[in-house]
Amino acid sequence: MIFTLLIVTGLLVILNISIGSSHISVHEILNVLFTGAGDGHNKMIIMDIRLPMALMAVVVGASLGVGGCEIQTILRNPIASPYTLGISAAASFGAAMGLILNANLFHVSDTLVVTANSFAFALLVAFAIYIFSRQRQIGKTAIILFGVALNFLFSSLTMILQYIANEDELQSLIFWNFGSLLKTTWSKFYIVLAVLIICFVILFKNAWKLTAMTLDDTKARSIGVDTAKVRRTVIFITSLLSAIAVCFVGTIGFIGLIAPHIARQLVGEDQRFFMPLSALTGAFVMSLAFVVSKLIIRGVILPIGLVTSVIGIPFFITIIFSKMRSM
């Protein structure tokens, strides 16, 4: 299963490099990738533009897939995702501060203002949830409610900024919120990849403990899991994963929700398989959405966040209905 998904995702990466304003044949792509030589501008287009974007789709999808998988596990809530905790809303507010108020909070270069602001606010929420979850007697429901409250708070703050924004600023913010891979660079890709690898290794080393987190808290504690500590650690790691992904590509909805659901249907909740498959499914769905985003309107690349939402919302409704039927 994992092997098949790897191959299909690899094929989608090739397809993503091939499709664009100018079509590049698979033969030419393989030629550039393996020999470093290509016709005309093909080498530049592939190596500097399309390959980093195609790979960014893979690592962002994997990050959101792993994040969703672990958030659903520790909160024992199948409709939770990194967005449930308000991270996306906070990142969006950070971006809005940069785009509308021109607030350069960290005195970075102009091109990095939006990224830095959105990352800072996403991380701020991650820390807020981490500190909140450190309080004694804080259960999973309280954490979800706290996340939902932060979500509303930052959404409202963003709306206030939208209200005072001029037309250009408003358009920029709306476009940022759509989610897009178009501003990907190799350095951004490497940062997301490095964070993904570090977080994945930490989580994977604790796979059995995370599997035990699918049980009731008392049951998990009875077999030696410090549930509060695991929950805090996972919240921090998944928040970091989501914050990094969101700050570079904007809001990408529903990958964190869909990927773990598909993976769970395929391999159950043994985290030794569930987590890697969630990552791979996230990468696959994101790559597929990127292909679809280029095919809907010829010559135009739709923001990928729109495509993932269009795929995700019917799926989300299906989950709710199937849950209602099983109740």
Partner 1 sequence: MITVDNLSFSYKKNKASHQVFDDLNLSFAKGFNVILGPNGAGKSTLIKSIFGLLDYKGNISYNKVSITSMNIEDKIKLMSYLPQMDMEISTLTVLEMVILGRLPELRHKVSEEDLNIVMDTLASLNITSLATRNFSELSGGQKKLVFIAQTLVRKPKLILLDEPVNSLDLQKQLELCQLLQKIVNKQNVDIIVILHDINLAARYAQHIVVLDENGSIYNSGKPCEVITSKMLEEVYGVIANLIYDDKDIPIIAPVSSVHNV
Q: What b-and-e string marks burial along 159-170, b requiring 16 or more CB atoms within 10 Å of the CB? A: eebeeebeeebb
| Distance in angstroms (rounded) separating the CA atoms of residues 298 and 303 | 14
CB nearer to partner 1: give 109 or 326. Answer: 326
CB nearer to partner 1: give 109 or 218. Answer: 218
CB of 263 to partner 1, least distance (A): 11
User: Biggest alpha carbon distance in the chain?
Assistant: 65
The answer for residues whose C-beta is within 8 angstroms of residue 125's C-beta and 6 or more apart is: 85, 86, 87, 89, 90, 150, 154, 239
CB of 131 to partner 1, least distance (A): 21
CB of 137 to partner 1, least distance (A): 10
CB nearer to partner 1: give 9 or 227. Answer: 227
CB of 76 to partner 1, least distance (A): 9
CB of 203 to partner 1, least distance (A): 13
Beta-carbon neighbour count of residue 209 at 10 Å? Answer: 20
CB of 43 to partner 1, least distance (A): 41
Residues in touch with partner 1 (CB under 8 A): 207-209, 211-212, 214-216, 218-219, 221-226, 264, 268-270, 272
CB nearer to partner 1: give 50 or 232. Answer: 232
CB nearer to partner 1: give 187 or 218. Answer: 218
CB of 264 to partner 1, least distance (A): 6
CB nearer to partner 1: give 119 or 274. Answer: 274
CB nearer to partner 1: give 185 or 214. Answer: 214
